[in-house]
Structure 1
Amino acid sequence: MKLHITNGDCAGEMIKDAKGVEGEVLCWRDLLHDGPLAIDKATHRCNRIEYLQWFLETTGSAEEGSLAQITQDFLARDRVIASLDQFDEIVLWFEHDLYDQLQLLEICHVLLDFAHQLPEISIICIDDHPSVPVFHGLGNLTPDILTELYPQRVPVSRADLKIAGDIWKQLTESTPQSLENIISEEVPGWPFMSRALRRFCCEFPATETGLTLTQTYLLLTLLRAPDELPALEQQLKGLERNDGLPEGKSAEQRYYEILTGPASFRRIFHHLQQLEVDPFMGDLSVKLELERLLNAEIPYVKTTGSGDDPHYSLTPEGAEALQGRRQWHLDNKIDLWRGGIHITNENLWMWDQQDTQFAFIC
């Protein structure tokens, strides 16, 4: 029997539906670019459960039973990992972006820690597909495409696992300088890893502004509306084909309403995806980043309107920040986790994008 490990439920369901792809599916379901990480297995599990519960509560996404379900999901995942010797092959299904590459690092660390002999390991990891004009990940594909990709999987060696496991250890350290060496050249066996980790470094506060790159992008989405949003247009056409639009609305009408109207969350989300070279954040992660900009002592973003779909705009301070006239860490308290590093105003690790190195601000 084969074990298929992938990033989340969307890809997981497609793997289950793909013809000729048989076995058990394990969805990793963790956004490791935010929140504390630890090398110790028990500490790491507790950290992630606590963070993900906070994440759902903060983004207003906690439903009845969902917080307890997070713990159950981690325990179920541990049970599968503890029984790896019942499988004859582990197939990793992932993509190129930061979300997936961090999961691969953790998975390799976990596999290396397995007490018995590991089965064969193979991987399918892509950054585009000819059938998808705007590729953001496996979720853009279909079960038939996954069936075609399955025979193209390539072996993962013990040496490959060791390289990734060592990076995971460095990622959980309490200082970030070791990342500078990793991102300076390609990582053997992991063609997308260096690029993804460079993006991770940009999620540290920037030396110029104190903002992460995501926060900067979000402010830019509010400075000027986009000229086009191809991924949104493609999504709306798909909804139109499946009768998923409001009655009396065409995909074209809805597209131009969103594109030219006030800055709704939907427009901001798709605009952010377009600004990213390799989009990696889901809608809840983007919502969390907006909340951080909204609910600060000196907010850089404000909302108007009421209900579930407010409109967003820059505050005067947000506009000044984009002009380089303000610094977030001088205006507000910072409380972020990046890997094993708790970034605060008193423990302020920042990223110098120009010199591609970290700086500790005393």
Structure 2
Amino acid sequence: MGKVLHITSGDIAGGSLKKAGLPGDVFVWHDILYDGPRQPGWPTEKTLNDRALFLETFTTGGLTRNRILKTLYHQYDKLVDAATVERIVLWFDACLFDQSMLVHVLSCLSLKKIRNVELLCVDAFPGIEPFHGLGQLRPEQFSVLYPDRHAVTDEQFSFAAVVDNAFATQDTALFSELSKRAGAPLPWVPAAITRWLQEQPDPKTGLGRLETLILAAIRAGCETPGKIFASVAAADTPPQFWGDTTLWAKINGLADRLPPRVRIEGPAARLPQWESEVPLDEFRIREEQDCHPSVPP
């Protein structure tokens, strides 16, 4: 006992947190817990295998199933080992990506009867505008925030289990209810869930918000992946929950539709969704002219 374990999301945030000079070890959690097959709470071996296959497909093989499985097993082993530390400090953003991860980690810790948990959820920082997340902070800024941590309450643990169940089951009705929850024990959850709902296909256009913003960017003259990324990032509402892997997957999905919504021209048939030697600036993304979805500009 006596050790402190810091758990956060994102390698950039984790790297800065390690340099902040705070007591304890830093562990970065990796997973896209608002999407894909899983179960509420602690995963079974089948769940981990299903998620590994999903993430391998999501990254078009950029991350292999075996590599992902190794990471997932290590993460849950780390939570089991957390029972031996004096306290756990969770550092998360207010975005959809982090909130889905936060409620899952809290749910898993609670199931293991680990309650010596403190939370820092950061939705703003002086001088940083727009604020998207912890990855924007310098190491010394983590130190400034550290005294603001609060012990996670029983009510927050219980609420986290409800939200984790919603994400695991993709329960749209429960999501709709949670998005309207006033005075939520984890106050950043309703806005994050609202953003999840915006990603579901619109009844009129069949498009989620990111897909809509992608087409708007192309119509505005953005043809390269980099320019589309910048345009969508500027148009989306902070905090940004997605990165290039997610956006390239959305573009590839638009190209794979029947009929296709976009045409990808370049050194490969589809954008690479993970580390690749294929140069992104050689791609051009164009809207298919024979397809006229009713998408607002």
TM-score tier, shorter chain, comes to 0.7 to 0.9
Alignment of 1:1-362 (within 5 A): 1-19=3-21, 21-39=22-40, 41-42=43-44, 43-57=46-60, 61-62=62-63, 66-114=64-112, 116=113, 118-173=114-169, 175-225=171-221, 262-278=222-238, 279-306=240-267, 308=279, 309=281, 310-322=283-295
Q: By how many angstroms is 1:14 displaced?
A: 1.2
Instruction: Give me the whole-angstrom Cα distance separating, in 2, the residues matched to 1:127 and 1:148.
Output: 15
The alignment-based identity, stated in percent, is 24
In structure 1, the partner of 2:272 is: none
Q: Unpaired runs of 5+ in structure 2?
A: 268-277
Change (3 A) 1:187 1:32: farther
Q: By how many angstroms is 1:318 displaced?
A: 4.8
TM, length-normalised to structure 1 = 0.72
More off after superposition, 140-149 vs 296-305: 296-305
Change (3 A) 1:323 1:198: closer
Instruction: Give me the whole-angstrom Cα distance separating, in 1, the residues matched to 2:128 and 2:171.
Output: 39
Q: By how many angstroms is 1:305 displaced?
A: 4.2
Q: Deviations over 1:194-217 (max 9, x none)?
A: 011011111211111111111111
Q: By how many angstroms is 1:296 displaced?
A: 2.2
Q: By how many angstroms is 1:282 displaced?
A: 0.8
Instruction: Give me the whole-angstrom Cα distance separating, in 1, the residues matched to 2:265 and 2:72.
Output: 39
Q: Which has the larger radius of gyration?
A: 1
In structure 2, the partner of 1:235 is: none
Instruction: Give me the whole-angstrom Cα distance separating, in 1, the residues matched to 2:28 and 2:205.
Output: 37
In structure 1, the partner of 2:274 is: none
Q: By how many angstroms is 1:120 displaced?
A: 2.1
Instruction: Give me the whole-angstrom Cα distance separating, in 2, the residues matched to 1:170 and 1:68.
Output: 28
Instruction: Give me the whole-angstrom Cα distance separating, in 2, the residues matched to 1:5 and 1:27.
Output: 6
1:146 alignment partner, SS class = helix
TM, length-normalised to structure 2 = 0.87
Instruction: Give me the whole-angstrom Cα distance separating, in 2, the residues matched to 1:150 and 1:47.
Output: 37
1:125 alignment partner, SS class = strand
Contact 1:87–1:119 under 8 Å retained in 2:
no
1:177 alignment partner, SS class = helix
In structure 2, the partner of 1:250 is: none
Q: Deviations over 1:133-190 (max 9, x none)?
A: 3322111111111111111112211221111111211332364212221111235221
Q: Report the residue type matching 1:89 in the other structure.
A: R
Q: Report the residue type matching 1:294 in the other structure.
A: A
Contact 1:94–1:126 under 8 Å retained in 2:
yes
How many residues end up aligned between the 2 structures? 280
Q: By how many angstroms is 1:68 displaced?
A: 2.5
Instruction: Give me the whole-angstrom Cα distance separating, in 2, the residues matched to 1:197 and 1:153.
Output: 23
Instruction: Give me the whole-angstrom Cα distance separating, in 2, the residues matched to 1:174 and 1:145.
Output: 36
Structure 1 consecutive aligned stretches of length 4 or more whose deviation exceeds 3 Å: 304-307, 317-321
Q: By how many angstroms is 1:317 displaced?
A: 4.5
Q: By how many angstroms is 1:37 displaced?
A: 2.7
Instruction: Give me the whole-angstrom Cα distance separating, in 2, the residues matched to 1:108 and 1:44.
Output: 18
